[in-house]
Amino acid sequence: AQKVTQTQTSISVMEKTTVTMDCVYETQDSSYFLFWYKQTASGEIVFLIRQDSYKKENATVGHYSLNFQKPKSSIGLIITATQIEDSAVYFCAMREGRGFASALTFGSGTKVIVLP
């Protein structure tokens, strides 16, 4: 069974700096997909970025990037030049690749507080 673990419950950073948050996962599949979502203060959940397990290059979208360390089953999210609006809860999630029927499994989330 797949499992996703986020051990950092809360991180505070100064505006315009870089924040890194961790996520480790467990799966028996050789093919899988890793996602990061952001939940804003209003409760809205939005997709940020994805890493496919067969890709060696770290995914990057805007000021979000991933640190994919496959041997360690780790997928960290890096946010550079943080803004106040980046204050949110960030969820890591995984879907195993065996067909379309598997749903996303989420971690417990990391709350990021960006201080002015």
Residues in the site for other proteins, rule: CB under 8 A?
6, 31, 33, 35, 37, 42-47, 50, 52, 91, 93, 95, 97, 99-109
Q: DSSP readout, the chain?
A: --EEE----EEEEETTS-EEE--EEE-S-SSEEEEEEEE-TT--EEEEEEEETT--SPPEETTEEEEEEGGGTEEEEEE-S--GGG-EEEEEEEEESSSTTPPPEE---EEEEEE-
Least distance from other proteins to the Cβ atom of residue 106, Å? 4
Nearer CB in complex with other proteins: 6/81: 6
Say how many CA atoms lie within 13 Å of 96 toward its Cβ: 14
Least distance from other proteins to the Cβ atom of residue 16, Å? 28
Least distance from other proteins to the Cβ atom of residue 98, Å? 8
Nearer CB in complex with other proteins: 15/52: 52
Nearer CB in complex with other proteins: 43/116: 43
Nearer CB in complex with other proteins: 100/116: 100
Least distance from other proteins to the Cβ atom of residue 6, Å? 8
